[in-house]
Structure 1
């Protein structure tokens, strides 16, 4: 599936506002290949960095 992240960009290796990412659903979360090139689990409803350095954003499904 393809998701667009909408919200504050965070980290060099995190998520970028407006960028489209490849993802799969896993255990109620999205496994996303983020800007680091690696895949990580992100919340389906409130994607944000674990350290709380950004308020996070939301996902827009582009292609399921």
Structure 2
């Protein structure tokens, strides 16, 4: 029997995005500044919606094809 993976959180922190994309902090902030990856501020913290990360990955996969 297969275990169902836990659901992803609605938002990710910058370190979580770094881990997911295997990119450096500066590269992730470059993506945010350029508008390629959407985010918002929650107080002093930056959050990336999980859907925005999926859209970024889908866009990159489409460009690679």
TM-score range, shorter chain: under 0.3
Bigger Rg, which one: 2
Q: Which has a greater percent of helix? A: 2
Give the structure-2-normalised TM-score.
0.26
